[in-house]
Structure 1
């Protein structure tokens, strides 16, 4: 990837995450990247191509982030690692993850099946620990963690949410 392509992707990420995909024009991305607008069309085809390139990176990052949970062999370790997910977001990647959350509201980009491996693993863990409703516990924990992650990304202050981390660890791990 060329320097100009990287600059275009970096500018698109920042603008899409902060202003929204639909509210960001290709000319605004090009200006922020310090390149001509024509380079977007040459390298990515169109604005959707820029977003698709960012989404391909999202697939890779999500797999990396979820790997410790998915490969845990102990049910308590699985839940413990899942609880850590929102608190482990690198502040330098907040824009990247903000974009992922914003895209949940964009037609064609919300793919809840991406989180199915996490839900399945949590369901297994709760089942192994003898919970009477493991599917609902998995969904509940997933939704709570998503809400915490959303607030951390919105406010940029994970410390404010650390008491919930402690509470969730106590609730599920004793």
Structure 2
């Protein structure tokens, strides 16, 4: 038995579960397929495991709606209400602009630090880091595919940005500068909790 089978199924399953709460996440199934190709040679069985994992939660929720004769409600709430494409100009408030600037700054920082992040890494680690960069790209690509522009969509960047910022902090030679930057980030997080 393939030891990766559970992980492949779980990737599809949990992406679909997340799409129940924030629909644009469903587009990350494409990212999961590409990252599987990058990590290992993907066979038809792996594609099938990912597809079954992706369909399972949607099927189970549809079954509950079907049991209560609400399949039209499921179709409307899960698909129709969430499919859309927003065109510029995006609805903006000062909160959205400031948070977007912060996230954009950290994404740009991680992109500029690509060389230092991957410089002392082995080939397997480089593959995984490249997958995180692909993840950032896919998060950027799925932003317009939603009916509104909720700022919560920027939370999709957090896993990759957290890993990259940790690597950047570990690579800083002066520990005092790293501690000061960490304190500034902590203060920004606390300020954002009360004002945004």
TM-score for both structures, normalised by structure 2: 0.29
Per chain length, whose mean CA-contact separation is higher, i.e. which structure has more relative contact order (CA < 8 Å, sep 6+)? 2
TM-score for both structures, normalised by structure 1: 0.32
